[in-house]
Amino acid sequence: MPATMTEAAVDRARALGYRRDLDGLRGLAIALVVVFHIWFGRVSGGVDIFLVLSGYFFTGSLIRRAESGDVGIGLTLRRTARRLLPALVTVLGAVVVATVTLRPYTQWGDLAGQTLASLLYYQNWRLATTWSDYLAADPSVSPLQHLWSMSVQGQYYLAALLVVAGTVWVCRRLGRERAMRPALAAVIVVAALASFLYAAQGSATHQGWNYYDSAARAWELLVGAGLALAAASLRVPRILRAVLAAAGLLVVAVAAGSPTARISSRGRRRCSRSVRRWR
């Protein structure tokens, strides 16, 4: 790799390194999710922030490796598995033990299916096909229902890994390494726009399915991916960064507590009618 490419890769790696501000934003997202589960409908947006951050961090990591050498599909999969699976397996094991101990055996079969779906990262699709209401709060609700977002992230990680690795391979085969970033930018923009339009249409026709649909959620992860791709070339003055950070926090706070972020009883009735029509 030419020296100029190596130097550029180092600069970009620094730009995409550990970010205390984004780590703080991730903590805010956790707080929003917790508050949402305690008081349904009071706040919203925690999962959305998480998905954007996941797209930013994972895609940024892939870009750093692509520009400094090789993406390494096998190595990336192993590292991701070592990071995610221990906590996931611990949670699944604890839930299985608690369910067998506290719940009737008639619920064990469904839990077994959801445990497998969570472990293999397709829990969101299982919930979508069974028309599970995420806002339901009764004993029949699966204790693993909240893992749907991890499944969406896992599916994105695999897709992003294959797309970035494929783009790098094609660009190097053609001797156009400098075209890698523009090519990835084009893919991200087109995919994000398609996902957003699909999600907008789905929210008006079958909202229950749309909530869990990976394709309807992909644009949020792709927004993070686009920010990761652009981060290395952005040079923002410190004062402007502070102003933008404050404005961003204000937007998150307003969006989280706005009436449009809540699902009204009328909206839930419409969703239920839509679900019955799609069954």
| pLDDT at 1 > cutoff 90 | no
pLDDT band (50, 70, 90) for residue 239: confident
Q: Residue written as tokens 């706070």?
A: 253
84-92 mean pLDDT: 95
pLDDT band (50, 70, 90) for residue 14: very low
| pLDDT at 215 > cutoff 80 | yes
Q: Please, what is the average pLDDT of the chain?
A: 80
Range(s) of the domain holding residue 64: 3-70+150-278
Reported pTM: 0.80
Residues of the chain with pLDDT > 70, as a percent, come to 78
* CA separation for the pair 273, 129 (Å, rounded): 16
Q: Is 23 a member of any domain?
A: yes
Q: Is 89 a member of any domain?
A: no
pLDDT of residue 277: 44
Q: Is 243 a member of any domain?
A: yes
N-terminal to C-terminal alpha carbon distance within the chain: 55
CA 137 to chain centre: 24
* CA separation for the pair 225, 54 (Å, rounded): 8
Dihedral of the CA atoms 24, 134, 191, 253 (nearest 10)?
-40
Query: When comparing pLDDT for 114 and 43, which is higher?
Result: 114
pLDDT band (50, 70, 90) for residue 218: very high
Q: Is 97 a member of any domain?
A: no
| pLDDT at 267 > cutoff 50 | no
Query: When comparing pLDDT for 172 and 252, which is higher?
Result: 172
Dihedral of the CA atoms 115, 213, 188, 200 (nearest 10)?
-160
Q: Is 25 a member of any domain?
A: yes
pLDDT of residue 40: 57
Query: When comparing pLDDT for 206 and 222, which is higher?
Result: 222
Number of domains in the chain: 1
Q: Is 77 a member of any domain?
A: no
* Mean pLDDT lowest among 94-98, 118-122, 272-276: 272-276
Q: Is 106 a member of any domain?
A: no
Q: Is 88 a member of any domain?
A: no
| pLDDT at 249 > cutoff 50 | yes
User: DSSP string spanning 37-85?
Assistant: HHSTTT---HHHHHHHHHHHHHHHHHHHHHHHS---HHHHHHHHHHHHH
Contact 72, 17 (CB under 8 A): no
pLDDT tens-digit map of 92-109: 999 999 989 988 888 788
* Mean pLDDT lowest among 174-183, 230-239, 262-271: 262-271
Closest of 100, 78, 29, 72 to residue 164, by C-alpha: 72
Stated length of the chain: 279
Using N-to-C axis directions, what is the helix angle for 46-68 and 214-231, rounded to 10°?
Answer: 50
